[in-house]
Structure 1
Amino acid sequence: MEYEYGGWSIDPMPDFSLGKFSAHARIIRASSGCDADTEMHIERDLAWCNSEDEAIQIALNWAIDWINTRNASVSGRQTDRPTFAQR
């Protein structure tokens, strides 16, 4: 499951280990030129959670905050929620 937000794709799927879900986010943005550069950021171990849904929500919220902070100096804060993207 991936989400699109602020020109980035967010993959918030957690890892499962020792009976807990580890929230982490993979954030990817590709430039639109023919010499497309891809930028990726991965944040692991955001939190240990009892449910997959909780881990996804934590990772998604973290990714949105990270994108907003990164984009704030260029275009201001984006406040809409991400849209689900089928891949």
Structure 2
Amino acid sequence: MQFDYRDFHIDASPLDECGRYYARAKIYRRTSATEEAVEVKYSGDLGDFASDADAIEAAQRWAIQWCDSRSG
């Protein structure tokens, strides 16, 4: 699931591996010069979940907290 939050673009797409879903997120910020999205943070695996919805929710929570801690 991809969405925009504050000045960031977040990709909270889980990894589906053998019936388990691994929460992970990539956070991007657009450069002002080129408007190109540049990855600024990758979460790595945030845990495994029985459903993709649970994994997405965990990744979204982590990403929003990370963005909030970097926004003034």
What TM bracket, shorter-length normalisation?
Answer: 0.7 to 0.9
Which range moves more in the overlay, 6-15 or 37-46?
37-46
Instruction: Give unmatched runs, 5+ long, in structure 2.
Output: none
Distance 1:42 1:32, change over 3 A: same
Q: How big is each residue's C-alpha offset from its partner over 1:51-74, in whole Å with a ceiling of 9 and x where there is no partner? A: 000000000000000000111xxx
> What RMSD over aligned residues (CA atoms) do the two structures have, in Å?
1.8
Q: Distance in 1 between matches of 2:37 and 2:9?
A: 14
Q: Secondary structure at the match of 1:24?
A: coil
Q: Match for residue 6 of structure 1?
A: 6
- For the pair shown, the structure with the greater C-alpha radius of gyration is 1
Does 1:64 pair with 2:64?
yes
TM-score (norm 2): 0.87
TM-score (norm 1): 0.73
Residues 28 and 37, structure 2, Cα contact 8 Å, conserved in 1:
no
Report the identity percentage: 32
